[in-house]
Amino acid sequence: MKRRVIIVGGGFAGIFAMRRLRLSRRRLEVIVIDQRPSAHFLPLLPDMISRPIAPASVMHDLRAECRRWDAMFLHDEVAAVDVPGVAVITRGLGRLSADAIVLSCGTSTAFHGRDDLRPAVMKLDDVGDAVEIAARARSAHWKTALVVGGGYTGVEVATHLRRLENLRRSRRRIIILELAPVLLPGMPRPLSEYAAANLMRMRIEVMNNRTLRDVIDQDAILSDESVFKNVLIVWSAGVKTPAFLSRLNLGHDRQGRLDVDKHLQAAPGVFVAGDAAGRIGGGAALRMGVQFSISGGRRAAANILRSLDGRALKPFEPMDPGYVIPMANMRSCGEILGVSAYGLAPSMMHYLMSVYRTFGAKRLKLLGDILRRR
Ligand SMILES: Cc1cc2nc3c(=O)[nH]c(=O)nc-3n(C[C@H](O)[C@H](O)[C@H](O)COP(=O)(O)OP(=O)(O)OC[C@H]3O[C@@H](n4cnc5c(N)ncnc54)[C@H](O)[C@@H]3O)c2cc1C
C-alpha cells in the first residue's frame, strides 16, 4: 500500500516539500491542501501598490503545479489536526489520515485583539488585498494615509504609497504609526536609522509610541487622542499563524509558531516548515522569509522520507542568505551574507530574487512588469 503524506499549505514551504517528496520517486501519495486555489508571491505584494504588476504574474495555480509533479491538490481549509493520530480534519472532506504531515500554513495579519478595527482598515495578506490597497490609494477620498506598524512590511507599504503619490503629482500625508520607540524594532540599529532617514527624505512621517485606537466614520483616533480626518489605513502590525495551529496541544510562541525539534518535527509524524515553524531545538525561531521557508520545506520532506525508511533524521541547518528591507525609491537596506548593504544594491537584490523565485514560467513577464514605470 502507498504511504500518504499530507502537506497543509501550498506556499513556498509546502510547494518545495511536495517537490522534494516527488523527486525521490518513492511510491507515495502526496496531497497538498490549501484554502486558496493558487499560491501568492508575497514579497511583491507591496510593489503592486505603485508598480503595474499584474495579479496573474504573482499567482501560481496549485492544481496545475501538483499535477505537474504527480501530487494531488485539495482546495479545502484545514480546521484541525489530530496530532497523535497523524490526521488532518478539513472543512470539506473531514478526516484524512496520513503516515506523515507537513504543517506549512504560514501566517497572516494579527489584529492583537482589535478585530473590531478590521472593517475600517486594509491588510496585506494576499494578492486581493494588494489590489484593494492599490485601488483605494488611487482614490481622491483620503487626505492622510496611516500605516499601522513600522516593521518591514509597514515601511515598504508606506514607500509605495509615496511613490504612487509622486507619480500622480499628489502630496498627501503618509504616516507610519509604531508602538515601539524605534522604527523597525528588532532590526540592527544602523538599518533602522538608515530606513528612518530615507523615509524622512520621502516625506513619510514616523510617529513612535503611538497606535490606532479607533476609527469613526472616516476619522482615525490615535492612542494619544489625536484625530486624523479622511484616512486611508493599512494595518501591518504583526502576524500570527492560523487559529487551528495555536489551538493544538503543542508548544508555540506568541505568534502561534510551533516549537519543533532540530529535525523540524513537532510530534511523531508531524513536521512543521516555513513561517509556521518557531523555536527550533529549544533555540530561537528563524526570521520569517522565503529562503528559510524553501529550505525548511525541503528538509521536512527529506526527513519524512528518512523516517518512512527507518533511517536517522538529519538536523535542519539552513544557510542564511540575509534579508532586505525594500523601499520603493530604490534606497533599500539589509544584510546580505552577513554584510550590511544600503541603497541600490539591496533593491536590485530584492527584485532579482523575486524574479528568480517566482513560480512557473512567468519570470520574463514579471521582470517586464517591474521595469515598467507605471
Ligand atoms: C507583504 C509581505 C512581504 C514580504 N516580503 C518578503 C521579502 O521581501 N523577502 C522574504 O524573504 N520574505 C518576505 N515575506 C515573507 C515571506 O513571504 C514568507 O516568509 C513566506 O511566504 C512563508 O512561506 P510559507 O510557505 O511558510 O507560508 P505562505 O507563503 O504564507 O503559505 C502558506 C499557505 O498556507 C495556506 N493556508 C493557511 N492556513 C490554511 C488552512 N487552515 N488550510 C489550508 N491552507 C491554509 C495559505 O493559503 C497559503 O497558501 C513577505 C511577507 C509579506 C506578507
The H-or-E segment that residue 110 falls in is: none
DSSP state of 72: E
Residue 362 has pLDDT above 90, yes or no: no
* Residue 269 Cβ < 6 Å to ligand 1: no
* Residue 238 Cβ < 6 Å to ligand 1: no
Residue 158 has pLDDT above 70, yes or no: yes
Is residue 51 helix, strand or coil?
Answer: coil
Residue 143 has pLDDT above 70, yes or no: yes
Tens digits of per-residue pLDDT, 67-124? 999 999 999 999 999 999 999 999 999 999 999 999 999 999 999 999 999 999 999 9
Tell me, yes or no, whether 51 lies in a domain.
no
Task: Tell me how far apart the alpha carbons of residues 53 and 14 are, in angstroms, rounded to a whole number.
Answer: 24
Judge if 120 and 216 occupy the same domain.
Answer: yes
How far does CA 345 lie from the centroid of its chain?
A: 23
What sign does the CA torsion over 121, 125, 128, 133 have?
positive
Q: Return the percentage of the chain with pLDDT > 70, whole number.
A: 99
Residue closest via CA to ligand 1's atom 19 equals: 289
Tens digits of per-residue pLDDT, 7-20? 999 999 999 999 99
Distances, alpha carbon 13 to alpha carbons 19, 121, 189, 222, in Å: 10, 29, 30, 38
Tell me, yes or no, whether 165 lies in a domain.
yes
Residue 372 has pLDDT above 90, yes or no: no
Q: How confident is the model at residue 361 (pLDDT cuts 50, 70, 90)?
A: low
Burial class of residue 204 (count of CB atoms within 10 Å of its CB; 0-12, 13-18, 19+): buried
Residue 343 has pLDDT above 70, yes or no: yes
Judge if 158 and 246 occupy the same domain.
Answer: no
Tell me, yes or no, whether 302 lies in a domain.
yes
Instruction: For residue 124, give the C-alpha cell.
Output: 496585506
Distance 11 CA to ligand 1 centre (A): 6
> Which of 291, 285, 270 shows the shortest CA–CA distance to 336?
291
Q: At what angle do helices 127-137 and 152-167 cross, to 10 degrees?
A: 40
Domain count, the chain: 2
Judge if 204 and 304 occupy the same domain.
Answer: no
Tens digits of per-residue pLDDT, 254-280? 999 999 999 999 999 999 999 999 999
Which residues does residue 267 pair with via DSSP β-bridges, in sequence order? Answer: 270
Judge if 216 and 338 occupy the same domain.
Answer: yes
Judge if 122 and 223 occupy the same domain.
Answer: yes
Residues 248/240, Cβ–Cβ less than 8 Å:
no
Instruction: For residue 227, give the C-alpha cell.
Output: 484625530
Q: Which residue has the cell 493520530?
A: 85
Residue 240 has pLDDT above 70, yes or no: yes
How far does CA 228 lie from the centroid of its chain?
A: 29
Tell me, yes or no, whether 55 lies in a domain.
no
Tell me, yes or no, whether 50 lies in a domain.
no
Residue 373 has pLDDT above 80, yes or no: no
DSSP state of 92: T
Is residue 269 helix, strand or coil?
Answer: coil
Task: Tell me how far apart the alpha carbons of residues 5 and 306 are, in angstroms, rounded to a whole number.
Answer: 13
Judge if 93 and 138 occupy the same domain.
Answer: no
> Which of 43, 38, 50, 90 shows the shortest CA–CA distance to 244?
90
Tell me, yes or no, whether 56 lies in a domain.
no
Q: How confident is the model at residue 370 (pLDDT cuts 50, 70, 90)?
A: confident
Q: Return the percentage of the chain with pLDDT > 90, whole number.
A: 93
| Predicted pLDDT of residue 299 | 98
Residues 264/273, Cβ–Cβ less than 8 Å:
yes
Other beta carbons less than 10 A from residue 237's beta carbon: 25
Distance 267 CA to ligand 1 centre (A): 23
| Predicted pLDDT of residue 87 | 98
> Which of 25, 50, 35 shows the shortest CA–CA distance to 108?
35
Tell me, yes or no, whether 71 lies in a domain.
no
Domain carrying residue 28:
3-35+76-107+241-320
Tell me, yes or no, whether 40 lies in a domain.
no
Distance 108 CA to ligand 1 centre (A): 8
pLDDT (average), residues 247-259: 96
Judge if 27 and 134 occupy the same domain.
Answer: no
Residue 374 has pLDDT above 80, yes or no: no
Mean pLDDT of the chain: 96
* Residue 129 Cβ < 6 Å to ligand 1: no
Indicate which CATH number applies to the domain containing 256.
3.50.50.60
* Residue 13 Cβ < 6 Å to ligand 1: yes
pLDDT (average), residues 287-297: 97
Q: Which amino acid is at 368?
A: G
